[in-house]
Chains A and B, each alone.
Chain A
Amino acid sequence: MASGLAKLGNLDRRIIYLLIALAVVIPLLLKLVFPSITTPIVQNIFDEVEALPPRSKVLLTADYGPSTVPENQPMLEAVARHCLHKGLRLYVATIWATGPPMIENMSENVIQRDFPDIVQGTEWVNLGYKAGNQGVINSAYSDFHNAFPTDARGNAVGSIPMMAEIKRLEDFDLIVAIGSGFPGVKEWIQFGGDPSGVPVAGGVTAVEAPLLYPYYPGQLLGLMGGLQGAAEYEAALVTAYPQFEETSTQAIQNMGPQTVAHLLIITFILVGNIAYFAAGREKPRLGVNR
């Protein structure tokens, strides 16, 4: 028995690959959905947006690329939908070269679908991409028009009505940064929120989330971490405004395969360790100890 278990430790990795693929595909086919419960760290962001008076100015950034769309896009869309529904003015920008198509997709899924009457330039504006990483935030902090001289369509920002009240970064009421790495939420805190005093909320991939906890709640208003964070925001939004149940449950739906895959990985860790102990714990291969 023990040797059988020990052999389990040498399972061909392709079998593991196959199992993980099935763990994702089967729940997708069966459309498995589990309930999502919003935790305080996400609820804080929702409540802040909820509490802002109409026509407040919100800067929403899309600092990620296609590789993290499944995690980041639902966050971007849920926050944009919430802001526009509350009648806030939405300024969308990105400091990732891969960001502009993300904003295009958001505009297609949120603005054209749910808010077709909204006018670009007075209620929302797409400021597009600027190269320079944290340098862009730094120059936006001292002179916003200098950092973003034109919007994505090439209009000079001076000619855009809703830009008249924005001179520096501190003129915003809230910054919601959605990102997946460097430069991202951390840089918006360090170079944007900290020096200007504007509250910063974040939405990041699950890889980044643990790194941002030290900034919460002091320098970071709230944090959506990974798909689960996105699902929690969607849950809060849909609970308050059931009319979005059709359009804003992307992340909630993807949590089905996520849950099954987590369970499988937990099983892997447990079985792997049982096999390891069955084979007899090996001694450290080198003489020194930590």
Chain B
Amino acid sequence: MVRPPYPDFHDSAPTRFTRFLDILIRFASLRRLSVSAVLTGVLLLAAPAAVFAQSGDPRWFIEDRANLLVIMLLTCGAILFYTIRATRGADYFVRKIAGISAIEEAVGRATEMGKPVLFIPGIQDLDNVQTVAGITILASVARKVAEYETQLNVPTSRSLVMTTARETVKEAFLSAGRPDLYNDSMVYYVTDEQFGFVAYADGFIVRQRPATCIYMGAFFAESLILAETGNSVGAIQIAGTAQPTQLPFFVAACDYTLIGEELFAASAYLSQEPKLLGSLRGQDFGKAFAMLFILIGTAVATISVATGGSLSGLMDTLNHWFHVAAG
């Protein structure tokens, strides 16, 4: 079987041009070359670490940052602790998130109306945490879609996102017992260009009139265009993003919106994956830590001001603990 020369492209029929390129490279057996190149790279990376001679900063530790180190060890330690506990079988509760319960209903509605479900996992690549969260949510949406035998459409703006999303959807259909319903054309790459992608998605919404639109991931200026167009065809819309500038548009124009951290929580909640649930618990520890010290700090500051400075020494200590020192 001839491997498609570049699986990124949504219609991956090999062309003569790329087949030629492919053969050329195989001929030069660049594969073996690449292995040695990799090893060289690692050696090169390690090399400068061995160079101690440079005249630089003589300090081995910035004492003013000791507080920061303690806070970092505490938060990171908590995240790790809960992640490890969760992978070893500890069961962690995650509160109900309204938008999540709505998803099943929205998919059901699309089934009744005989119209497709549109899912957009944001417009950023996999190095953005929000995209990863979006794809995790896609997995459970796809499972619902397979159970209800509805149509699913997932246009993506990055080729890597497409590859990952395809695997995810395929797996979801398999686990729902309907691998026969899956086909690759459900998930496809459009373009990397922000507005090119939006122009496509807009056209899709207007022409296919999906009953349900789900937007989960990193969105920018296009959030408004998508939500507005979806609204104009009367689709049920559920959105989720941690992009604070775009939240107002989703909140106003969509039926349900996952706000900021809720997006990450939803992906943990839906996937029930231990490492996600555990680190979510660790993040909650961080929030509890922040709340506790805000409360203590505020109380001390209030008493200190109200009594004309009786606790100012304690306040200085607290401020010192949370002071971000310049290098």
Task: Identify 14 residue pairs between A and B in the complex whose beta-carbon atoms are under 8 Å apart, listed by A's number.
Answer: A13-B232, A195-B326, A195-B327, A196-B326, A197-B326, A210-B245, A285-B255, A286-B102, A286-B236, A286-B256, A287-B105, A288-B98, A290-B98, A290-B256
- For A290, what are the chain B residues with a Cβ–Cβ distance below 8 Å? 98, 256
Question: Is A47's beta carbon under 8 Å from chain B?
Answer: no
For the A-B complex with A13-B232, A197-B326, A286-B236 known, give 14 more contacts whose Cβ atoms are closer than 8 Å. A194-B324, A195-B326, A195-B327, A207-B245, A284-B255, A285-B236, A285-B255, A286-B102, A286-B255, A286-B256, A288-B102, A288-B105, A290-B98, A290-B256
Binary flags per residue of B35-60, CB closer than 8 Å to A gives 1, else 0: 00000000000000000000000000
Q: Which single residue of chain B is at the shortest CB-CB distance from A205?
A: B245
Bound: A141/B98 CA distance, A: 45
Bound: A211/B245 CA distance, A: 8
Contact B106 A286 (CB under 8 A): yes
Among B101, B232, B245, B256, chain A packs the most CB atoms within 10 A around the CB of B245
Q: Which single residue of chain A is at the shortest CB-CB distance from B108?
A: A286
- For B244, what are the chain A residues with a Cβ–Cβ distance below 8 Å? 210-211
Bound: A170/B105 CA distance, A: 56
- For A210, what are the chain B residues with a Cβ–Cβ distance below 8 Å? 244-245
Total A-B contacts with CB atoms under 8 angstroms apart: 33
Binary flags per residue of B233-259, CB closer than 8 Å to A gives 1, else 0: 000100000001100000000011000
Which residues of A215-251 have CB atoms within 8 Å of chain B's CB atoms? none
* The one of A13, A170, A289 that contacts B326, using a Cβ cutoff of 8 Å: A170
B: interface residue count bin: 10 to 19
- For A207, what are the chain B residues with a Cβ–Cβ distance below 8 Å? 245
Among B98, B102, B244, chain A packs the most CB atoms within 10 A around the CB of B102
- For A196, what are the chain B residues with a Cβ–Cβ distance below 8 Å? 326-327
Bound: A13/B233 CA distance, A: 13
Q: Which single residue of chain B is at the shortest CB-CB distance from A218?
A: B324
Among A207, A211, A286, chain B packs the most CB atoms within 10 A around the CB of A286
Name B's A-contacting residues (CB within 8 A). 98, 101-102, 105-106, 232, 236, 244-245, 255-256, 324, 326-327
Bound: A286/B244 CA distance, A: 25
Bound: A71/B285 CA distance, A: 41
Question: Is A208's beta carbon under 8 Å from chain B?
Answer: yes
Shortest CB distance B37–A (Å): 23
The list of the 4 closest CB pairs from A to B, nearest first, reads A197-B326, A290-B98, A288-B101, A195-B327
Bound: A139/B119 CA distance, A: 40
- For A286, what are the chain B residues with a Cβ–Cβ distance below 8 Å? 102, 105-106, 236, 255-256
- For B106, what are the chain A residues with a Cβ–Cβ distance below 8 Å? 286
Bound: A272/B106 CA distance, A: 26
Contact A194 B326 (CB under 8 A): yes
- For B98, what are the chain A residues with a Cβ–Cβ distance below 8 Å? 288-290
Bound: A145/B118 CA distance, A: 50
Shortest CB distance B86–A (Å): 27
Shortest CB distance A37–B (Å): 26
Bound: A288/B109 CA distance, A: 14
Contact A141 B101 (CB under 8 A): no
Shortest CB distance A106–B (Å): 25
Bound: A208/B256 CA distance, A: 24
Q: A194-B326, A286-B236, A290-B256 are in contact. Are A208 and B245 (CB under 8 A)?
A: yes
Q: Which single residue of chain B is at the shortest CB-CB distance from A141?
A: B327
Shortest CB distance B111–A (Å): 14
